[in-house]
Amino acid sequence: MSKSEKLFAEATQIIPGGVNSPVRACRSVGSDPIFVDHGRGARIFDVDGKSYLDFVSSWGPLICGHATPWVTHALEEAIKKGTSFGAPTEGETKLAGLINENYPSMEMVRLVNSGTEAGMSVIRLARGFTGRDKIVKFQGCYHGHADSLLVSAGSGVATLGIPGCPGIPAALAELTLTVPYNDVNALTETFAKHGKDIAAVIVEPVAGNMGVVLPEPDFLPAIEKLTREHGALFICDEVITGFRLTVGGAQKHFGLKPDLTMLGKIIGGGLPLAAFGGRREVMESLAPVGGVYQAGTLSGNPLAVAAGIAAVEYLMRETSVYGRIRQSSLRWSSGLLEAAKSHGFNVCGNQIGSMSTMFFTEGPVRDYESALKSDTGLYGQFWRGMLERGFWLAPSQFEATFTSAGMIPDDIEAALDAANETLKAMKK
Ligand SMILES: Cc1ncc(COP(=O)(O)O)c(C=O)c1O
């Protein structure tokens, strides 16, 4: 029995499924999880001493790889002063300022601990500000596990095939209207029918939680236009794309001006930190200025803030990172598609910046319905073959593959060699 197997057996006795977040259990790819000992650069090392090239990057935060010296140093300095005060610290204003500098639509910012918390908070804020109850989300998008946002959600909900989540009151779920991603007609019809009751439309500007799905050219502008026309708020969930697609995120890349934005993952440098922000008059509806209550014992935690500032300042300084991770991603995704096709698999792929997914379906994949046509059994075989060869991919077809700045071109070529061998050995 390996040490990972032993630790997993122990964990399942005390932690449901042995994991603290469902996709980590690796069930959909027919495996047990590996237990990680440490990470360095582009690699993670398991408790049995095996190393893996990491295409998961802790599900997005680690755009530059593991244990980067600038984040580690910032943490060492911060921890000497204490770990939490529950009173304001200078770093919080500095990080909010850095966010505003790169995301001018976020005129005011509040720091929280997770993307889920950011999502839950923006929905309450949008409802409080507009005095309306309904929200619109797109099928297959994931915005965290708050009650209103788990309807037709991607990520683990898609991976495990959970149709509706027990515990979410139907009366609340009914207030979430869902529309297929990229479907401007359906969105227009939804506004025609419910326009005066819609508080907000929330979207991942590039979907990353049904696998990577790109917005078609008219999609995001249509959301912006329809929300403006109907007095609803446009919420851009940049928890994945923020500081990843460009330093200014998807809103800079696509030229968007959302009313509210959610950030997470990268802005915490690998520590639990997220943020939401937007138009001043909307944000001033929050307590203590306005009546919409939102709070947190550890919000703006000094360690998370120090790591976040170090991560963000590095990306603002070293902008060549974006070209490198994009190049790696392009090479990986085009090489992988070519290899899979040469071995006779029906596949298609979506790629942008450092994000990509190869789907085991003919495609094209442009929404949740087309993503769900993927053969997840084949993905599982592919994933297990890659793991065996020392490559750590997301343990689900419905997630993004991230390249990190820790990777060098030889790493990608080695990954493609391993993919070729794996695909060759797979049973159709
Ligand atoms: C787009 C998006 N929004 C929100 C979240 C929720 O963030 P967290 O897992 O930090 O709660 C995620 C998590 O993967 C995400 O991908």
pLDDT digits (tens, 9 = 90+) for 414-427: 999 999 999 999 99
Q: Are strands 43-46 and 36-40 parallel, antiparallel or unpaired?
A: antiparallel
Give the distance (Å) from ligand 1 centre to CA of residue 128: 22
pLDDT at 163 over 70: no
Provide the edge-to-edge strand list for the sheet that holds 260-263.
108-112, 274-278, 260-263, 233-237, 198-203, 134-138, 176-179
DSSP per position, 371-423: HTTS-HHHHHHHHHHHHHTTEE--SSTTS-EE--TT--HHHHHHHHHHHHHHH
Out of 113, 142, 298, mutate this one to test ligand 1's pocket (max ligand atoms within 8 Å of CB): namely: 142
pLDDT the model gives residue 155: 73
143 lines ligand 1 (CB under 6 A): yes
Give the distance (Å) from ligand 1 centre to CA of residue 301: 19
103 lines ligand 1 (CB under 6 A): no
Mean pLDDT of 204-209: 98
**Which residue has a Cα nearest atom 16 of ligand 1?**
240
Give the distance (Å) from ligand 1 centre to CA of residue 285: 24
Give the distance (Å) from ligand 1 centre to CA of residue 145: 8
- To the query of whether residue 379 is one of the catalytic residues in this protein, the response is no
208 lines ligand 1 (CB under 6 A): yes
116 lines ligand 1 (CB under 6 A): yes
Name which of 400, 410, 395 is nearest 352 in CA terms: 400
pLDDT at 159 over 90: no
Helix axis angle, 409-425 relative to 376-388, nearest 10°? 120
How many Å apart are CA 47 and CA 56, to the nearest integer?
18
pLDDT at 314 over 70: yes
Please tell me the number of Cα atoms within 13 Å of 187 on its side-chain side: 28
> Contact, 27 vs 4, CB < 8 A?
no
Selected catalytic residue, list 265, 314, 367, 379: 265
Give the distance (Å) from ligand 1 centre to CA of residue 361: 26
90-93 long-range Cβ contacts below 8 angstroms, 24+ apart: 91/300, 91/302, 91/305, 91/306, 91/309, 92/300, 92/305
Give the distance (Å) from ligand 1 centre to CA of residue 339: 31
144 lines ligand 1 (CB under 6 A): yes
Mean pLDDT of 109-127: 98
Q: What is the reported pTM?
A: 0.97
Cα 335 to chain centroid distance, Å, stands at: 24
Pick the more confident residue, 151 or 354. 354
H or E element at residue 202 = strand 198-203
Length of the chain: 428
- To the query of whether residue 265 is one of the catalytic residues in this protein, the response is yes
Residue 16 DSSP code: G
pLDDT the model gives residue 204: 98
Cα 225 to chain centroid distance, Å, stands at: 25
Give the distance (Å) from ligand 1 centre to CA of residue 58: 12
**Which residue has a Cα nearest atom 9 of ligand 1?**
115
Give the distance (Å) from ligand 1 centre to CA of residue 310: 21
Q: List Cβ neighbours of 178 (8 Å cut-off, separation of 6 or more).
A: 136, 137, 138, 139, 151, 152
Residue 215 DSSP code: P
Ligand 1 atom closest to the CA of 116, numbered from 1: 11
**Rounded to 5 degrees, what are φ and ψ at 66?**
-90, 150
pLDDT the model gives residue 93: 98
**pLDDT tens column, 7-61:** 999 999 999 999 999 999 999 999 999 999 999 999 999 999 999 999 999 999 9
Q: Locate 350 and state its tokens.
A: 């979506």
For the chain, what is the largest distance between any 2 Cα atoms, rounded to a whole number of angstroms? 62
Q: Locate 23 and state its tokens.
A: 């996709």
Selected catalytic residue, list 237, 259, 367, 411: 237
pLDDT the model gives residue 160: 64
pLDDT at 164 over 90: no
Ligand 1 atom closest to the CA of 238, numbered from 1: 1
How many Å apart are CA 102 and CA 252, to the nearest integer?
9
What's the sign of the alpha-carbon dihedral 253, 259, 264, 268?
Answer: positive
Read off the pLDDT band of 324 (50, 70, 90): very high
Q: What is the dihedral of CA 322, 323, 329, 333, to 10 degrees?
A: 140
**Mean pLDDT, the chain, whole residue set:** 96
pLDDT at 300 over 90: yes
> CA–CA distance from 166 to each of 147, 174, 175, 408 (Å)?
10, 14, 16, 45
402 lines ligand 1 (CB under 6 A): no
Ligand 1 atom closest to the CA of 144, numbered from 1: 6
pLDDT at 154 over 90: no
Q: List Cβ neighbours of 21 (8 Å cut-off, separation of 6 or more).
A: 156
pLDDT at 428 over 90: no
pLDDT at 356 over 70: yes
119 lines ligand 1 (CB under 6 A): yes
Read off the pLDDT band of 162 (50, 70, 90): low
**Which residue has a Cα nearest atom 4 of ligand 1?**
143
**Rounded to 5 degrees, what are φ and ψ at 269?**
55, 20
Selected catalytic residue, list 142, 181, 314, 379: 142
